[in-house]
């Protein structure tokens, strides 16, 4: 969020220009109205002046807000103008560096060493997220079991970690597609803010060709500019996706891909395979280049449903591409196979599936319960790194498990951390066990091999890996104060 809260325009008082009516002084009245700068459209009994300019962003990095205001000119005895005198919009600056102090932490730290609560005793304060109003500056006294509310947070403070809302005048507001906080404007399927889907068309079809041989078959082109893409089927066949450069994104070259999120054509493609035969692809789009959807046939095709929204001007070229692709004549891949349904070959390293993947039940026994203040202090103080991360993938290799994680917040580090890191754990059933797409607070050690060829982050067995929550965030910050210097 950055360390510079910025300067916001203060709430405006009632306008000073409110003329007093006197009989037979029309010229004076006309001059008074002109001097008030009336020019806005009527919003009620009063008249709004034009909007002022937007203020600078409330943050020096990351997300913040900007504000503009206008004045209401109205006569005594009449009602004020209808509408708001202030508008707030999101502003986006370059991401804050890893380790930057969050905006709310800075506000709590302003009261460090200052007497509060009517005594001369002073405290060190950190944010507390367990209070009812998330837009109050609730701070926890470190080393004590109480928190204090110092009033409202400054405008532009995130409502809570990991959320999109920002606090404005004590309220948590989210932005519409127009960038205005508190707006209800939403994008339509065509990507237009506040639109009604009038500029695009829905392509919705079912591919039913059964194929004369087992192998890869073309299903459809997903053109550049496609949005809200969805592909689904129920069979032992596998969907495959080819990028604009001719390389496979998913399930290519007779090798299976794990469920997860993949980058392709400027969008994120979410690939899922349920416990049954159901398989699905979805992407928000828009795609920056054409994608080719294929299917690896292993049994008769029961039907592949696909749909996406396409700009009207691209629908004609899409029809031409589809005919050139040859829906009625499928071309097999260079590798031929026998008509019997082949199984996807096992990869050298087995990829751990998400909970909805078609795989046998988890053979790993539950991990022992390691919760408690002493366990938290032991691993926080004895670890090289403590950070918040989201698990992106999990890979079993020999007698190790490798997690790919996205580092989101660093509490402690003895050397720099990158945004994407690998965290290693011993065994194919490590404890603690990390679930895909969940966020954790992790305490890890740095391990360098004797020959210096491997530099790893290692999660020790029975180590510290807690599901992230605002309460756990407050606990780990409190633990930092109890480590020996």
Give the integer Cα–Cα distance in Å for 125 and 185. Answer: 38
Question: What domains are defined for the chain?
Answer: 45-185 (2.20.100.10), 200-325 (2.60.120.830), 373-482 (2.40.50.120)
Average pLDDT, the chain: 79
Q: What is the pLDDT of residue 229?
A: 95
The radius of gyration of the chain from alpha carbons, rounded to an integer in Å, stands at 30
Q: What is the pLDDT of residue 398?
A: 72
Residue 444: strand pairing partners: 385
CA angle 326, 330, 336 (to 5 degrees): 155
198-204 average pLDDT score: 90
Give the integer Cα–Cα distance in Å for 18 and 291. Answer: 63
The answer, yes or no, to whether residue 60 has pLDDT greater than 70, is yes
Residue 166, H or E segment: strand 166-168
245-273 average pLDDT score: 90
- Calculate the CA 60 to chain-centre distance: 20
Q: What is the pLDDT of residue 119?
A: 78
The answer, yes or no, to whether residue 33 has pLDDT greater than 80, is no
- Within 309-413, residue ranges assigned H as helices are 312-325, 373-382
The answer, yes or no, to whether residue 331 has pLDDT greater than 80, is no
97-101 average pLDDT score: 85
Residue 387: strand pairing partners: 410, 442
Higher local confidence (pLDDT), 142 or 39:
142
Give the integer Cα–Cα distance in Å for 362 and 352. Answer: 10
123-131 average pLDDT score: 91
Give the integer Cα–Cα distance in Å for 93 and 63. Answer: 6
Give the integer Cα–Cα distance in Å for 155 and 319. Answer: 51
Residue 458: strand pairing partners: 424, 445
The answer, yes or no, to whether residue 318 has pLDDT greater than 80, is yes
With a pLDDT cut of 90, the percent of the chain lying above it is 28
Please report where in the chains the tokens 């507390």 appear, as a residue: 128
The answer, yes or no, to whether residue 57 has pLDDT greater than 60, is yes
Give the integer Cα–Cα distance in Å for 281 and 273. Answer: 9
334-357 average pLDDT score: 38
Band of pLDDT at residue 375, cut at 50, 70 and 90: confident
Residue 184's Cβ-count burial label (10 Å; 0-12, 13-18, 19+) is exposed
Please report where in the chains the tokens 């690896």 appear, as a residue: 296
Helix (H, G, I), strand (E, B) or coil at 360: coil
Closest CA to 482 of 388, 381, 375, 385: 381
Task: Tell me if the pTM is above 0.75.
Answer: no
263-281 average pLDDT score: 89
The answer, yes or no, to whether residue 41 has pLDDT greater than 80, is no
Label the pairing between strands 455-458 and 439-448: antiparallel
The answer, yes or no, to whether residue 104 has pLDDT greater than 70, is yes
Residue 81 DSSP label: -
The answer, yes or no, to whether residue 4 has pLDDT greater than 50, is no
Q: What is the pLDDT of residue 196?
A: 86
pLDDT digits (tens, 9 = 90+) for 406-454: 998 888 887 778 888 889 888 888 888 899 999 999 999 888 877 666 7
Rounded to the nearest 5°, which phi and psi values hold at 372? 140, 155
Q: What is the pLDDT of residue 140?
A: 92
Band of pLDDT at residue 8, cut at 50, 70 and 90: very low
Q: What is the pLDDT of residue 98?
A: 84
């Amino acid at each position: 969020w950055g360390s510079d809260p910025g300067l916001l325009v203060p709430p405006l008082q009632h306008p000073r220009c409110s003329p007093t009516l006197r009989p037979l002084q029309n010229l004076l009245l006309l001059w008074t109205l002109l001097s008030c700068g009336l020019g806005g459209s009527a919003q009620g009994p009063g008249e709004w002046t034009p909007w002022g300019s937007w203020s600078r962003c409330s943050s020096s990095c990351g997300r913040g807000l900007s504000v503009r205001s206008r004045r209401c000119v109205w006569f005594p005895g009449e009602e004020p103008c209808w509408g708001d005198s202030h508008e707030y919009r999101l502003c986006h600056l370059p991401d804050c560096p890893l380790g930057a102090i969050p905006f709310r932490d800075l506000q709590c730290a302003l009261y460090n060493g200052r007497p509060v609560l009517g005594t001369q005793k002073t405290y060190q304060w950190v944010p507390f997220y367990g209070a009812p109003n998330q837009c109050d500056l609730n701070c926890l006294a470190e080393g004590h079991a109480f928190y204090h509310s110092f009033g409202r947070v400054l405008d532009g403070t995130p409502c809570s970690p990991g959320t999109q809302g920002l606090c404005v005048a004590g309220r948590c507001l989210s932005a519409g597609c127009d960038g205005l906080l508190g707006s209800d404007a939403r994008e339509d399927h065509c990507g237009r803010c506040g639109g009604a889907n009038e500029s695009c068309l829905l392509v919705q079809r079912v591919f039913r060709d059964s194929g004369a041989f087992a192998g890869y078959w073309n299903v459809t082109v997903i053109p550049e500019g496609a949005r809200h893409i969805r592909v689904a089927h129920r069979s032992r066949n596998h969907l495959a996706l080819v990028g604009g450069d001719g390389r496979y994104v998913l399930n290519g070259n007779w090798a299976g891909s794990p469920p997860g999120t993949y980058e392709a054509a400027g969008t994120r493609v979410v690939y899922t395979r349920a416990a049954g035969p159901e398989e699905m692809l979805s992407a928000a789009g828009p795609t920056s280049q054409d994608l080719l959807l294929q299917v690896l046939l292993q049994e008769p095709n029961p039907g592949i449903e696909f749909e996406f929204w396409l700009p009207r001007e691209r629908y004609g070229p899409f029809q031409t591409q589809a005919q050139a692709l040859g829906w009625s004549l499928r071309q097999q891949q260079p590798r031929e196979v026998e008509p019997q349904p082949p199984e996807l070959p096992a990869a050298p390293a087995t990829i751990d599936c998400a909970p909805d993947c078609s795989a046998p039940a988890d053979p790993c026994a539950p991990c022992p319960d390691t919760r408690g203040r002493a366990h938290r202090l032991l691993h926080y103080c004895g670890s090289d790194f403590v950070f918040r991360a989201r698990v992106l993938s999990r890979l079993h290799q020999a007698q190790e498990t490798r997690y790919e994680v996205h580092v989101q917040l660093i509490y402690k580090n003895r050397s720099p951390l990158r945004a994407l890191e690998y965290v290693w754990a011993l065994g194919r059933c490590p404890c603690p066990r990390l679930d895909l797409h969940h966020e954790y607070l992790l305490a890890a050690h740095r391990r360098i091999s004797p020959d210096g060829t491997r530099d790893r982050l290692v999660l020790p067995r029975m180590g510290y890996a807690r599901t992230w929550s605002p309460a756990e965030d407050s606990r780990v910050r409190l633990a930092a104060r109890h480590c020996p210097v």
